[in-house]
Amino acid sequence: MIGRVNHIAIAVPDLEAAARRYREMLGASVSGVQELPEHGVRVVFVETGNTKVELLEPLGDASPIAAFLERNPDGGMHHICYEVADVSAAVRRLIEGGARVLGDGEPKIGAHGLPVVFLHPKDFDGTLIELEEVKPEFGPA
Amino acid sequence: MIGRVNHIAIAVPDLEAAARRYREMLGASVSGVQELPEHGVRVVFVETGNTKVELLEPLGDASPIAAFLERNPDGGMHHICYEVADVSAAVRRLIEGGARVLGDGEPKIGAHGLPVVFLHPKDFDGTLIELEEVKPEFGPA
């Protein structure tokens, strides 16, 4: 069911400082800043060749990462996103297996414009898992 | 400098239960259990096609993940490992840039039999970063 790691998301308290460290100290390929107000984050993408690391800073009062940063003021690894071919089928299988899907269980359109769900971290060893539906014909090789 | 994400490491309190959840609930390709007593962990590898997720359980009293699991009894994302072509050169650049390398700063032989260092999470937004030296000719395409 789960396929490629689409991205690893890291919540950071200062996006520009974090982007600079990845670019200058780690020599990474880092995108410019994108603001995604409908998702409550500002983001830069670190391209690693085989997947992406997304550095996220809260944007607005209802940011989904604000509480995480209150608990972890230095920042930290926030979630891992796996690609799936059919997110609704994935949700059915997970619920049958006893896992909890966050929210109302219905896929939402995520930050990449594709259907996503998040799974309860208590069901997966304290790890917040995002599943993103990627049509195979549109996915990277 | 940093290249591919070699793996994402997740500390788990019960390796067999975690492996079963990844296999049965997430439909993932999960290896058998390997014991690495010299590294203080038992591990399974989740193959995602583009990178690996390593589920780690402490092994022995001096396990490097024991303290993390005391703070996070449910488990959680522990570190992210990037490939580099020359770990000693990477260390020099990082130290010049003001980053801290854990331990004495000298690369050690890691769990994959290759030279590794770990960077201080306080310098990278609360994220523990491992750098692993992978010779390009031996690395995956």
Distance from C-alpha of A14 to C-alpha of A16, rounded to nearest angstrom:
6
Distance from C-alpha of B83 to C-alpha of B4, rounded to nearest angstrom:
5
Is the CB of B8 less than 8 angstroms away from the CB of A80?
yes
Domain boundaries of chain B, sorted by first residue: 7-133
A5-133 is a CATH 3.10.180.10 domain = yes
Calculate the alpha carbon distances from B8 to A9, A75, B18, B94, B98 in Å.
12, 17, 15, 21, 25
- Could you tell me which chain B residue has the CA closest to the CA of A22? B124
pLDDT in tens, B77-136: 999 999 999 999 999 999 999 999 999 989 999 999 999 999 999 999 999 999 999 986
Report domain B7-133's class.
alpha beta
Residue where the block lists tokens 């604000």: A66
Residues of A with Cβ-Cβ distance to B8 under 8 angstroms: 5, 8, 80
Residue A70 annotated as catalytic: no
Cβ of A72 under 8 Å from any chain B Cβ? Answer: yes
Cβ of A40 under 8 Å from any chain B Cβ? Answer: no
Residue A2's nearest CA partner among B94, B37, B65, B8 is B8
pLDDT in tens, B26-54: 999 999 999 999 999 999 999 999 999 99
Residues of B with Cβ-Cβ distance to A74 under 8 angstroms: 121-122, 125-126
Calculate the alpha carbon distances from B39 to A98, B60, B62 in Å.
33, 9, 9
What is the CB neighbour count within 10 angstroms for residue B93?
17
